[in-house]
Amino acid sequence: MIDKDKIKEAVGMLLDAIGEDASREGLRDTPDRVARMYEEIFAGYDDDASARLSRQFEAEGTGNDSGVVIERDITFYSVCEHHMMPFFGKVHIAYIPDKKIVGLSKLARTVEVFAGRLQVQERLTSQIADAVEKELGAKGVLVVISAEHTCMTMRGVKKPGTQTYTLCSRGVFEKDESLKNSILSLMTK
Ligand SMILES: [Zn+2]
């Protein structure tokens, strides 16, 4: 649970520490604004991916060949846990259902749950893959994330536009390299 009073106090101290006058007009409401913003961007701590994926449907008329579901270009915003700076980009998810599928918006909601916490991109990728595998009992899951980290592009090496890619595979995608590559080309083309 987010402690907004504590955040307000901490932001006031930060303003002070960087040499600002926290009482001047433009900054007077900043601690309160940041506290309310944190409540929104860290809403993932009070949320649960399994609830988001619980409404499932039967995949129709499949037999053995249940096909692949791909949802591309899910926009996300998260905050890196090393610098508390935003990183953002796209998530692409592919899964092979075992009879159960979910509405496509639920995959986007699942991304939101994990993105709404302090993160590293690698863990964000594997948490999404694990949730889809576990909650849907999917036969295979492939998650690709491309993201720009403002802690890299705004400071340090300062290379704007640099994209970091992470990939996580579960189930059949771990065993079948050619299947994985053919789905990957559909996901990221
Ligand atoms: Zn960082």
pLDDT digits (tens, 9 = 90+) for 144-159: 999 999 998 888 777 7
Give the separation between CA 66 and CA 96, rounded to whole angstroms.
Answer: 7
Mind listing the pLDDT tens digit for each residue in 123-178? Answer: 999 999 999 999 999 999 999 999 999 998 888 777 788 899 999 999 999 999 99
What's the fold here for domain 4-41? GTP Cyclohydrolase I; Chain A, domain 1 (1.10.286)
How far is ligand 1, taken at its centre, from the CA of residue 114, in Å?
17
The residues annotated as belonging to the active site are 80-83, 121, 149, 151
Q: How far is CA 143 from the centre of its chain?
A: 11
Q: Residue 82: pLDDT band by 50, 70, 90 thresholds?
A: very high
How far is ligand 1, taken at its centre, from the CA of residue 77, in Å?
13
How far is ligand 1, taken at its centre, from the CA of residue 124, in Å?
14
Q: What number does CATH give the domain 56-188?
A: 3.30.1130.10
The domain locations on the chain are 4-41, 56-188
DSSP alpha helix (H) spans, 47-169: 49-52, 104-115, 121-136, 150-153
Give the separation between CA 185 and CA 148, rounded to whole angstroms.
Answer: 21
Q: Could you write out the three-class secondary structure of 15-68? A: HHHCCCCCCCHHHCCHHHHHHHHHHHHCHHHHCCHHHHCCCEEECCCCCCCCCC
pLDDT for 63 beyond 60: no
How far is ligand 1, taken at its centre, from the CA of residue 115, in Å?
14
* C-beta of residue 89 within 8 angstroms of C-beta of residue 148: yes
Handedness of CA 176, 182, 185, 188 (dihedral sign): negative
pLDDT at 188: 80
Segment among 95-99, 155-159, 183-187 with least mean pLDDT: 155-159
Whether 56-188 and 4-41 are alike in CATH topology: the answer is no
How far is ligand 1, taken at its centre, from the CA of residue 156, in Å?
10
Question: What pTM, to 2 d.p., does this model score?
Answer: 0.92
